[in-house]
Structure 1
Amino acid sequence: MSDDQSDVKLEESSYSDRKRDKDRKRSRSPRRKSKSRERDRKRSRSRDRKVKKSRSRSPKKTRKKRPYKYWDIPPPGYEHISPAQYKAMQASGQIPAEPLTAPAVGPTSADASLNYAGSSLSRQARRLYVGGIPFGMTDEAMMDFFNHQMRITGLAQAEGNPVIAVQINLDKNFAFLEFRSVDETTQALAFDGISFQGQPLKIRRPSDYKPLPGMAENPTLAVPGVVSTVVQDSAHKIFIGGLPSYLNEDQVKELLVSFGPLSAFNLVKDSATGLTKGFAFCEYADVSVTDQACAGLNGMQLGDKKLIVQRASVGAKNAQQQAPVQLQVPGLNLNQGAGPATEVLCLMNMITPEELVDEEEYEDIVEDVKEECGKYGIVMSLEIPRPIKGVEVPGVGKIFVEFNSIIECQKAQAALTGRKFSNRVVVTSYYDPDRYHRREF
C-alpha cells in the first residue's frame, strides 16, 4: 500500500491520527523536495550533455556545400523563385534545361517536354486566339478540327490530343484554344488563314501573351495550302495598292496567284466598317517570283483604278540589287504597262494553257468571249495564243480583243474588269494596236 493511501485511512480514523499524519508529511516534505531537486539536476545535466555533445560534433565534421548545378541557379528574371521551384519548372519544360550529353531513353523523354498543362506560369503561352469562326460553332467541333489538323500535318508531338480546352464567344465570333504544351501552341500558329467550314480563320497570340525564355515565338514549319493572314516584314513582302473596292479577298488572291502560290496575304480593312481600304500585302511561297509579280502587276488598269505593286520592306532595294531576276512572266508583256486607252483590250487571268490544248474547249472559249465582248461594241478580231509542244509561244494565257473604236473598248474594259471567268477574276489592260497587228504578244 502506498503512503498516499495510508494517509487517507489515518485521516478517517481520528483527529490525532490526522495530526500525526500531517506531522509525518511535514517530515517527509524535505525529502521529496530534495528528490525533486535531484531529478531536476539530472535532467539539466542530461540536457547539458546533449548540447555539449552536439556542439562538440560540429567542428569535427564540417560539411562542404555541394556546388549548385545550372538548373539550381535561376537566370536573370527568375530571382524571385527558389532553386527548388526553378528546378521544377525546368523539369516541366517551362525553362530550357542544360543540353544533355546523351539522348533520353524511354517514354518519359517525350512527356517531359509536353506534360506541363497544369502550370499557371505557362498557360498564357499555351493559348491562342481564333477569330472569324463560323456561326453556331461548338467547343467539341472546334477541338476535333484542330486536333485532327495537328495530327495530319505532323505538328502533334506525342500521342493524344494537343488541344485540351476550347472557349467560344458566340456573340463576337471568336474562340480561345488551350494546348497541352507551349511548343505545340507555337506550331499551331501555322494554321493562321486555314479554312474551316468555308471561312478563313485568324489565329493570333492572346493579348496577355508573355514569351517564355528560351521558347520559340514563331512556327518553324509551314502548313501546305494554308495562306497566313499575317504578312511578316521581310525583303519579299509586297505592297498592292489601288485596289478597287468591289474586289474581295478571294478575287485579289486569284489575281496574285497567277504568278505562283502565296504563303501570306492580308487585304487591309477598316476595323469599324469592315470595308477594304484599297490596299493589301502578300508574300509568295517561292520568293524568286517576287520581282516578276511586281513588274507584271504594277501599273495594271483595274476598272478606273491603276495598281501600285512594289516591295514593301525597307531593304527591298538591296534585295533587288543582290538578286536580280530575268523578268519572264508567262502570258504577260511587262513593257506595255496600262498605257492610254486603245481599241485593243487584253484580258488576263481567264484561261490556262491546259484549257487551250483541247480543240473543242478552245472553240467554246472563243465563242464565249466574242459573245460577251459583243455586248459593248463591234468585235473586229480576236486572238488567243495557244501552246505548242516544245515551243515557247508568247502571250499564252492572254486574250486579245480588237474593237471597232476606242470608246467601245473602254466600255468593255469597264464592264469586264473584276468579272469572273471560270471562277477566275478577270484582269484587263489596253494594248498597243500596232503590236497586236504584228502579233507581238
Structure 2
Amino acid sequence: MLTDFLGKALQQVGLTIMPGNPINTCRVNGKFAFIELRTVREAENALNLNNIPFMGAMLRVGRPSKYTGKVTPHGNWEDILAKYMSGELTLPQQAGGAPAAPAPLASASSCVVELKHMLTHDDLRDDTEYEEIMEDTKDECSQFGALKSVIIPRSGPGVTKIFLEYLTKEDAAKAIAGLAGRTFDGRKGIFLFV
C-alpha cells in the first residue's frame, strides 16, 4: 500500500524520470519503512515527499540515519504541491515530446477533507466567533469546488477539526493541494482525506 501511494505521488507531481512506479522495494520495520527506488535521481526526488499525509499521519521522509552520501537539497510535500499547482514543476516528457499523463494520487479516495490544527477550544466557545469561522471557511474553501457541507464540531471526538464535504473527489483533491502549507494563527494546518 505504501509503495503504491508514494509511487503515485511521485508520478503525480512529475518527480519520476520514466513511466511507472519508481519504487522497487518497500520493507517495513516497526515504526520505520525503507523504500528503494530504481534510480539515484528518483531517490533524491523522493525526499520531497517529507510531510505527505498518509492514513491520518504526516510521513517523515528522509535518508537512513547511517547514510554517508552527498546531501541533496529538497523541499517538503507542501512546497512541491505548491510548485506543481503553480506550474513551476512540470511532468516529464514521453517519447515524442508529449507530456506524460499524471497518475491519480492514491490519497484522492474521498469527497471529505479533514482540516486539523486550525482551531482551538477557545475559538469554538463564542457563538459569534463560531459563526464567523464557519462563514470564513465556506468562503475560502468553496474556491476549490462545490461544497456539499462544512461541519465544525464544538464537542465530542472531532472537536477543533473542520470537515469539508465536496461534491467530487477531484474538488477535494484540489482543496488539499490548495490548502497545503497554510498556517492559522501561527499553527500549520494538516489536511487529509477522510
Q: TM-score, normalised by structure 2?
A: 0.48
Determine which structure has greater relative contact order: mean sequence separation of CA pairs < 8 Å that are 6+ residues apart, divided by chain length. Answer: 2
Which structure has greater helix proportion? 1
Q: TM-score, normalised by structure 1?
A: 0.22
